[in-house]
Amino acid sequence: MGEDDHIELRVRLAKLEIEHEDLDHAIDALIQVGTDNLRIQRLKKKKLSIKDEIARVRDELLPDIIA
């Protein structure tokens, strides 16, 4: 993997982390105002899929080294 690929992955990781944090704040705000549970559940599901994508990108950046 070249340096350009690493840079691209780091940028993608940063964007995903920001989106994950934004969703976290949005979910908290919706819970505070008492929005319907279906909407909150959908946002939580999206947040979880973003968390999974973050893990995949991190694995690409820092692959396991088998000794």
Residues 10-53: tens digit of each pLDDT: 999 999 999 999 999 999 999 999 988 999 999 999 999 999 99
Q: What DSSP designation does 65 have? A: -
Confidence of residue 4 (pLDDT cuts 50, 70, 90): confident
Q: What is the pLDDT of residue 12?
A: 97
Tokens at 28, concatenated:
């908290």
Domain annotation covers residue 34: yes
pLDDT at 2: 80
Q: Judge whether 67 lies within some domain.
A: no
Within a domain: residue 66? no
Is 12 within a domain?
Answer: yes
Q: Is the pLDDT of residue 9 over 90?
A: yes
Q: Is residue 38 in some structural domain?
A: yes
Q: What's residue 64's pLDDT?
A: 61
Structural domain count of the chain:
1
- Domain extent at residue 21: 3-61
Judge contact between 43 and 20, C-beta under 8 A. Answer: no
